[in-house]
Amino acid sequence: MLKIFRDLLRFNLEFAIGTLIVSIIVGLSVLSFFSPYPPEDIYVVAPDVPPSWEYWLGTTSRGQDVFWQMTAALRNTLLFGIAVAAISRVISLTIGLVSGYMGGMTDRVLMSINDTFIIIPLFPILVLFYFVMRDSMSWALLALIMAALGWAYDARLIRSVAMSLRTREFTSQCIFSGMSPRQIMTREHLPYVLPIVFSTTLNNMNWSIGMEVTLSVLGFTDINTPTIGSMLYWANQHTALVAGVWWWIAWPVIAVMLLFIGLYLLATALNEYIDPRSRLSRMGGAT
Amino acid sequence: MKTYAIYLAKRLLQFVLVVFIGINLTYVISHATPIDPVEQTISALTSFGNTSPEAIETMRESLRELYGMSGTPLEQYVSFWSRIVVGDFGPSLSAFPTPVSELILRALPWTIGLLVVATVLAWLLGNLLGGLAGYYRKNRLLKAMGLIAMGLHPMPYYVVAFVLLVVFGFLWPVLPISGGSGIGVGRGFSFDFISSVLLHSLLPALSLVVVGLGGWFLGMRALVSNIVTEDYVVYAELGGVDRRRILTSYVMRNALVPQVTGLAMSLGAIFTGAIITEEVFGYPGIGSLLVDAVHAGDYSLVLGITSVSIVAVSLAVLVIDLLYPLLDPRVQVE
C-alpha cells in the first residue's frame, strides 16, 4: 500500500500535484483548531482591513479574520464532503454489488431505480427540501439527504466491476464450496471493488461540496455554520465586491477551486492506476 | 423492427418510472416532513401586524385546501397526483392570482433555449476536440487543451458562473451580466430584441459550455485512445485508408455511442447547472423563478417547478433515447 503510494507520487504527476493540493487544504483545515477566535463569532477584529502583516488575508465586513474564518470553513466543507461520501458509499456499494452479482431480474429492477436517481434533477429537490425544512435545516440533515440522492452514478460503476467478477473462476469456486451470496459479496468481491470505490469517493466529494457551496451561497442551508459556501453568502449579503472587499470573496473561491482540482486529479490518477490499459497507452506502450 | 419495439417499450417504461419515483420523492419531502407548509405560510403572512384568530383559522382552512393538505393521507396523495397529471398547481402566492403553471410556462422557454444551445454546443465541440486529441496524441495545442479541460471539468457550475460574473462584471465590463434582454427593448420579432437576447445569453451560455466542454473532451479523448488500439483500426491503417476517414468513420463514430448515452445520463446534472447559472446572471428562466419562489415563501410555485423539472428532464432523456437507434444500428437488428 505504502509502496503503491510512493510509486504513484514519483511517476504520476497528476497524483503528485493532487496530493500536494489536498494536503495543503487539509493542513489549513487542521489549523482551524488553533484559531485564536471562535469561528462563529462576528466582530472580533476590525472590519474591512485589507490583507496585511497583522491579518494575512484581510478581514471581513463582519469583523472576522478571513484566514481563520477560511480554515474553519474549509474544515466544515471537507467534513461535509467526507460525510456525504461515506454514507452514500454504503448505499452504492450495496446496490452495486448485489445488482452485479445477482443479475437477472434483481439487476434489472435495481438498475431501473438507479437510472432514475441519475436522471432526476437534484437541485430543485434539494431546494424543495430546504423550503420545507427552513430553520430546522442543519449541516447533518443536508449531508444525509445528499447522500440519499447522490449514490446512483457510482453504484452503476461498482455494478459493472461486480458483473465481471461474477464470471471469474474464483467466484464459481466459492459457490461450489458452499459460500452464501452475502459471504461472496462481502469477503470475495468487496476487496476487488475497493480501489474504484476510493476514486468514486473523491468524485462524490467534489459533487457534494460543489452542491453545498451552491446551496449555501443562495442561502439555502444553515448559513450560520461557517463553510466556504456560507462565507460567500455573507460576502454577497454585504455586497463585498461592490464595496471593494475583494479579499473576502477571492480567497475562499481560490481555496475551493484548488480543492476541486486536487480531488479531481487524485481521482483520475487513481482511475488510471486501476485501469492498466490507459496506463500502458500513457507510457506509449500500446499505440 | 421487433427489437426496436422492445427497445421503445423499455425506454417508455423507464420514463414512467423516473416520473413516478421523482414525483413521489417530492411528495414525501413535502408531506412527510415534520414542518407544515401551511403553518409556515401563515406565520410568514401574520408576522406583520395583528391578525384575528378567526381570520387565521379561515386562512388555515383555505391554505390546506389550496396546498392539498386536507383529508386523509390517501386523499392527499391522490389529489397530489391528479394535480400533477393535469398540470394544475394552483395559484402562486407571491404573484397572486397568477396560476403557477402560467409562471412556469413563461420561464420555461428561456431555460430550454439556453440549455439546448449550451448543451449541444458543449457536446459537439467537446467530442470533436476530444476525438482529435485522442487521435493526434502528439499535438501540443490539443495537449494544452486537455490540461485546461482537466482544470475546468471538476468546477461546479456556480463557481464558474460566479468567476465569469466577476471578470465580466467588475474587472472588464463588456458584456451584460444580468437579465434576459435589454431594459426598454420591446419584445417581438425585431433585430434589436433578438440581438439583445443573444447578447444577454452569452455569459450564461459561456459558463455552461465552459463546464460542460471539459467533461465531453476528457471522455471522448479516453474513448478514442482506447479505440485506436483496436485491431480493426490498425488493419485500416495498414490497408492505407485515409487518416481522416479512419478518424471520422472508424474511430469517432464508434466512440460517439457511449457519449450519447452519457448525454442522456447527465442531462439532469446539466439542467441543475443551467438553473444555477440562471440565478447567478438573473436570467429569467426556471432557476431564477425557483430561487425567488423560495425567498417569497411560495409553496405552490416551488412544488410546481420541482415537478415540472422532473417531467421535463425525463422527457428530454426519452427523446435522446429514441434518437439513439439512429446512431447505434445494433438496437434495430437482431
Residue carrying the nine cell digits 423539472: B309
Strand partners for B40:
none
**CB-based contacts of B320, cutoff 8 Å, min separation 6:** B260, B263, B264, B267
Dihedral class, residue B120 (left if φ above 0, else alpha if ψ from -120 to 50, else beta) = alpha
Interface test with chain B among A108, A110, A113, A119, by most B beta carbons within 10 Å:
A119
**Is residue A287 one of the residues assigned to a domain?**
no
- Residue A210: domain span: 2-282
Q: What is the pTM of this model?
A: 0.87
**Is residue B185 one of the residues assigned to a domain?**
yes
- Residue B206: domain span: 102-298
Q: How confident is the model at residue A285 (pLDDT cuts 50, 70, 90)?
A: very low
Q: How confident is the model at residue A73 (pLDDT cuts 50, 70, 90)?
A: very high
Q: What is the pLDDT of residue A286?
A: 41
23-52 of A, contacting B, C-beta below 8 A: none
Q: Pick A197 or B50 by higher pLDDT.
A: A197
Per this entry, what is the length of chain B?
Answer: 334
**CA–CA separation, A96 and A59 (whole Å):** 47
Q: Which of A124, A213, A268 sits opposite B290 (nearest CB)?
A: A124
State whether residue A4 sits within 8 Å of chain B by CB. no
State whether residue A134 sits within 8 Å of chain B by CB. yes
Interface test with chain B among A116, A232, A265, by most B beta carbons within 10 Å:
A116
CATH number, domain containing residue A26: 1.10.3720
**Total number of domains constituting chain B:** 1
**Is residue A209 one of the residues assigned to a domain?**
yes
Tell me the average confidence (pLDDT) per consecutive run of 10 residues in chain B, 334 residues long: 81 90 88 71 71 78 74 80 81 79 89 91 93 88 88 87 86 75 65 80 89 90 86 89 87 88 88 88 89 85 90 91 80 56
**CA–CA separation, A234 and A245 (whole Å):** 12
**CB-based contacts of B89, cutoff 8 Å, min separation 6:** B83, B99, B100, B101, B300, B301, B303, B304, B307
State whether residue A287 sits within 8 Å of chain B by CB. yes
**CA–CA separation, B10 and B318 (whole Å):** 11
Q: Is residue B175 classed exposed, middle or buried when 0-12, 13-18 and 19+ CB atoms within 10 A define those classes?
A: middle
Q: Which residue of B has its CA nearest to A211?
A: B156
Q: How confident is the model at residue A143 (pLDDT cuts 50, 70, 90)?
A: very high
Q: What is the pLDDT of residues A206-243, one digit of tens each?
A: 999 999 998 998 888 888 888 998 898 988 888 877 77
Cell numbers found for residue B296: 417569497
**CA–CA separation, B36 and B198 (whole Å):** 42
**Is residue B47 one of the residues assigned to a domain?**
no
Residue A284 in this model has a pLDDT that exceeds 60: no
Interface test with chain B among A132, A149, A200, A215, by most B beta carbons within 10 Å:
A132
Q: What is the pLDDT of residue A287?
A: 38
CATH number, domain containing residue B280: 1.10.3720.10
Residue carrying the nine cell digits 446539466: B270
**Is residue B21 one of the residues assigned to a domain?**
no
Q: What is the pLDDT of residue A187?
A: 87
Q: What is the pLDDT of residue B122?
A: 94
| CA distance to A66, A76, A205, A226, B4, per residue, from A73 (Å) | 10, 5, 15, 5, 53
**CA–CA separation, A97 and A188 (whole Å):** 11
State whether residue A127 sits within 8 Å of chain B by CB. yes
Q: Pick A110 or A281 by higher pLDDT.
A: A110
Q: What is the pLDDT of residues A163-180, one digit of tens each?
A: 888 888 888 899 899 888
Q: Which of A120, A153, A249 sits opposite B22 (nearest CB)?
A: A120
**Is residue B293 one of the residues assigned to a domain?**
yes
Residue carrying the nine cell digits 451552491: A214
Return the closest-CA partner of residue A188 out of A103, A89, A97, A99. Answer: A97
Q: How confident is the model at residue A279 (pLDDT cuts 50, 70, 90)?
A: low
Cell numbers found for residue A156: 452503476
Cell numbers found for residue B138: 502528439
**CA–CA separation, B188 and B295 (whole Å):** 31
**Is residue B107 one of the residues assigned to a domain?**
yes
**Total number of domains constituting chain A:** 1
**CA–CA separation, A285 and A277 (whole Å):** 10
Q: Which residue of A has its CA nearest to B315?
A: A119
Q: What is the pLDDT of residue B33?
A: 67
**Is residue B39 one of the residues assigned to a domain?**
no
| ipTM rounded to 2 decimals | 0.86
Q: Other C-beta atoms within 10 Å of B140: how many? A: 7
| CA distance to A15, A71, A283, per residue, from A276 (Å) | 16, 38, 11
Q: Which residue of A has its CA nearest to B38?
A: A132
Q: Which of A241, A260, A277 sits opposite B166 (nearest CB)?
A: A241
CA distance, residue A178 to nearest chain B CA (Å):
36
DSSP chain A: -HHHHHHHHHH-HHHHHHHHHHHHHHHHHHHGGG-SS-TT--SSS-TTPPS-SSSTT-B-TTS-BHHHHHHHHHHHHHHHHHHHHHHHHHHHHHHHHHHHHH-HHHHHHHHHHHHHHHHS-HHHHHHHHHHHHGGG--HHHHHHHHHHHS-HHHHHHHHHHHHHHHTSHHHHHHHHTT--HHHIIIIIIHHHHHHHHHHHHHHHHHHHHHHHHHHHHTT-S-TTS--HHHHHHHHHHTTHHHHT-HHHHHHHHHHHHHHHHHHHHHHHHHHHHH-HHHHHHHHTS--
Q: Which of B154, B302, B314 sits opposite A128 (nearest CB)?
A: B302
State whether residue A257 sits within 8 Å of chain B by CB. yes
**Is residue A23 one of the residues assigned to a domain?**
yes
